[in-house]
Amino acid sequence: MNLTVDLIQKNIGLFQRCADGVAVPPETSPLMIATMTDGQNRFGLCAQTDRMIERREEATGLRVLEDGFPQELIGVEPEERGYEVKPRRLA
């Protein structure tokens, strides 16, 4: 799937800027940004997002992934062109 932490950071940041622009208070995005930033500091700026589970494993001492879990996640859905999402103001 080649989904990297830097791409997630970009998307979360765009979402937050859109929310700020229509006065939607942040709830989860600040926590998500902090979590991804910590992951980048630990695993590298362009680390694969599936490495983020390692943060929980290190914090808890648990092994979350079972034997046989693939080292790389591979998407099987065809790629499609993106589109713009325009927020509507609430009345």
pLDDT digits (tens, 9 = 90+) for 47-89: 988 889 889 899 999 988 778 877 777 778 888 888 887 777 6
pTM above 0.95? no
Please state, in angstroms and rounded to a whole number, the distance separating the CA atoms of residues 30 and 16.
Answer: 8
With 0-12 CB in 10 A as exposed, 13-18 as middle and 19+ as buried, what is 58? exposed
pLDDT digits (tens, 9 = 90+) for 1-49: 678 999 999 999 888 888 888 888 878 888 999 999 999 999 999 998 8
Structure confidence at residue 90 as a pLDDT band (50, 70, 90)? low
